[in-house]
Amino acid sequence: MDVLEAIKTRRSINKVKDTPVPKELVEKILEAGTYAPNYHHTNPWRFFVLTGEGRKHLGDVFVEIEKSNLPESELEKNKEKLEKLKNKPLRAPVVIAVGIEPSDRPKVLKKEEYAAVNSCIQNMLLTAHSLGLAAIWRTGARTYHPKVRDFFNLSENGEIVAFIYLGYPDMTPPERDKPHFSQFTTWIGE
């Protein structure tokens, strides 16, 4: 698939089949991520590939976080919500958690490390799409919770930037209305 076509036809797909995704395809996606631009060649991305039962551990962390925000007396009332939360990572056969470990070299700016990881994620989404897979970048406040960071053994400076839910598409996303780029563009010729 031509790059421009991939960019223009990629969509966030939130409903995928249970069908497993071959490891070789996941590896292609991971490899593409590492081709993103990264100033000072810091390779700040970290990948955690969750499949099968492995996804359940993440659900347990989500529940732990939610529970820590609830008083003991509210737990029973929130049982259904907690159960839903526990099952969130089971929505796709593969969840790739993309983390960041920013370099501590003095010349390296943290915001540029994030820029590199965000580019990495877009590479991954586009590659998934070009391979006929569906993907969606998911976050939410819980993503950045220290318990999530600790679960993935990231350092105090690191965190998860995206959960990429990956699988074979089970829906066609509705048409989107793309505003014309000219609305956001200023040409400065002289």
Ligand X SMILES: Cc1cc2nc3c(=O)[nH]c(=O)nc-3n(C[C@H](O)[C@H](O)[C@H](O)COP(=O)(O)O)c2cc1C
Taking CB under 6 A as the rule, does residue 137 contact ligand X?
yes
Select from 9-17, 32-40, 52-60, 70-78 the region that touches ligand X (CB under 6 A): 9-17
Q: In what order do the strands lie in the sheet with 94-100?
A: 45-51, 94-100, 159-167, 134-138
Select from 26-34, 80-88, 94-102, 134-142 the region that touches ligand X (CB under 6 A): 134-142
Kindly tell me which residue out of 26, 116, 135, 136 binds ligand X, with binding defined by CB under 6 A.
136
Rg (C-alpha) for the chain, rounded Å, is: 18
Taking CB under 6 A as the rule, does residue 142 contact ligand X?
no
Residue 125: CB minimum distance to ligand X, A? 8
Task: Give the whole-angstrom CA distance, residue 25 versus residue 127.
Answer: 9
Are 148 and 86 spatial neighbours (Cβ–Cβ below 8 Å)?
Answer: no
Q: 78 exposed, middle or buried (CB, 10 Å; 0-12, 13-18, 19+)? A: middle
Q: x/- string (CB under 6 A) for ligand X, residues 91-130?
A: ----------------------------------------
Q: Which is nearer to ligand X, 12 or 34 (CB)?
A: 12
Taking CB under 6 A as the rule, does residue 138 contact ligand X?
yes
Residue 39: CB minimum distance to ligand X, A? 20
Of 37, 155, 154, 40, residue with least CA distance to 106: 40
Are 173 and 161 spatial neighbours (Cβ–Cβ below 8 Å)?
Answer: no
Which spans of this chain sit near ligand X (rule: CB under 6 A)? Answer: 11-12, 14, 136-140, 173, 176
